[in-house]
Amino acid sequence: MASIVVFFLSLAAGVATGQPSLLPPSPPPSRACDIPAIYNFGDSNSDTGGIAAAFYPPGPPSGETFFKRPVGRASDGRLIIDFVAEKLGLSYLSAYLDSIKADYTHGANFATGGATIRRVNESWFVNDVSPFSLDIQVEQFNQFKDRTIYLPEDFAKAIYTIDIGQNDIAYCFRTLGVEASRAAIPDIVNQFATSIQQLYGKGARAFWIHNTGPIGCLPVTYAKIHDPPRGYLDKTGCVAGQNVVATEFNKQLKAKVIQLRSDLAGAVLTYVDMYSAKYQLIANAKDQGFNKWSTICCGYHDSDEDVYCGNQGKINGTEVFAGSCKDPTKVISWDGVHYTEAANNWIAIHITDGSFSDPPFSILETCPNHISVS
């Protein structure tokens, strides 16, 4: 996590705009789909215990708000994927890598914290990069499906949610610099498309695809900035140059999703503008009942020192424990990188109703064309 802060600070400022859809959406079904399962792929934004099972689980105070104990989530409570499951009337997803009380009746979660789309030559122990890149997650799904003998029709009716890409951008920043990072985006997006095609080949038909969020608005990065040059921050206070690269990634990802709609017969691919949803919350934090967007609930960060959430360390020579804030429900950022349950809930409400989707349909209406609605 610390590596994200160091290398994000080197970016220049800038602005960018999105790209409208090139194809008209199909009309939505008139009633909700019967979605029996969720299969999720991604990074720490949707990891419900995968990286914790593979390595070291987070300790308190993670999970304190809802689960009342650490449950492998980078938050004080539920993630967006948990609220998506609730919206669909399904149980919370068990991590594929976690064998403790796992329940795969209504899907499985292959996401792991630190995951990337492309394989990168880094380590979890050095830069918090997961060895379970998207292609490995897809292979794990393939093995899961091939070994599953009950309810095989559920795989065709299920929704396949994907939220990944932020760590690819961070890796490019660390190793290539800004301009080369932009040059790497087409290959990252193409590898993303390959994974979608592989899932399609295994029977997946309904995809719910999140773009990457405004990484220039990570409070852990903002905490390191003092006396920035003119134009370095945007009007909200986010690092503009970081968001330029994230926006370019999203632009190319959306174009690829549009292309896949033509290539994959019978598939429904919903592109969810997570960037805009999160930025809207951040830019209007106080109007939505939150404290200033750059507030961090759990952890200590300044220009010289860091004590990450749940850890012991020294600040100004004093030994401290990085515990949580008094009221996480009023804070957007849990640990400087990830979101609180309250923020995740706000975002989930606004994306699952179709407000930030292309096509603009509720997640309840996201089912393959050949699946009947109830």
Instruction: Tell me how many helices (H) and strands (E) the chain has.
Output: 12, 10
Give the domain CATH number at 189: 3.40.50.1110
Is 305 part of any domain?
A: no
Q: Beta-carbon neighbour count of residue 249 at 10 Å? A: 28
Is 306 part of any domain?
A: no
Q: Write the pLDDT tens digit of every residue in 105-132.
A: 999 999 999 999 999 988 888 888 999 9
Nearest of 107, 88, 109 to residue 37 by alpha carbon: 107
Domain that holds residue 93: 2-14+31-284+340-359
Is 330 part of any domain?
A: no
Whether 44 is catalytic is: yes
Please give the tally of structural domains in the chain: 1
Q: pLDDT at position 326, please? A: 96
Nearest of 117, 118, 110, 114 to residue 128 by alpha carbon: 114
User: Which stretches of the chain are assigned E, i.e. beta strand?
Assistant: 38-42, 107-109, 159-163, 206-210, 268-272, 299-301, 306-308, 312-315, 318-321, 357-358
Model confidence at 226: pLDDT above 80? yes
Bigger pLDDT: 278 vs 149: 278
Identify whether the C-beta of residue 130 lies closer than 8 Å to the C-beta of residue 43: yes
What's 264's DSSP letter?
Answer: S
Q: Beta-carbon neighbour count of residue 282 at 10 Å? A: 23
Identify whether the C-beta of residue 56 lies closer than 8 Å to the C-beta of residue 70: no
Is 267 part of any domain?
A: yes
Model confidence at 266: pLDDT above 60? yes
Whether 338 is catalytic is: yes
Q: pLDDT at position 30, please? A: 40
Q: pLDDT at position 150, please? A: 65
Q: Please tell me which residue in 94, 163, 338, 357 is annotated as part of the active site.
A: 338
Q: pLDDT at position 281, please? A: 98
Model confidence at 369, pLDDT cuts 50, 70, 90, reads: low
Is 258 part of any domain?
A: yes
Q: Please tell me which residue in 44, 46, 130, 333 is annotated as part of the active site.
A: 44
Whether 99 is catalytic is: no
Q: Please tell me which residue in 43, 128, 335, 358 is annotated as part of the active site.
A: 335
Model confidence at 98: pLDDT above 70? yes
Q: Write the pLDDT tens digit of every residue in 170-198.
A: 888 788 876 778 889 999 999 999 999 99
Is 333 part of any domain?
A: no
Is 183 part of any domain?
A: yes
> What are the CA-CA distances from residue 86 to residues 31, 278, 349, 360 (Å)?
18, 20, 11, 20
Q: Beta-carbon neighbour count of residue 66 at 10 Å? A: 15
Give the alpha-carbon dihedral of 199, 204, 205, 206, to 10 degrees. -90
Is 20 part of any domain?
A: no
Model confidence at 159, pLDDT cuts 50, 70, 90, reads: very high
Contacts of 26 (CB under 8 A, 6+ apart): 268, 359, 369
Region of 151 (left: φ > 0; alpha: ψ -120 to 50; beta: rest) is left
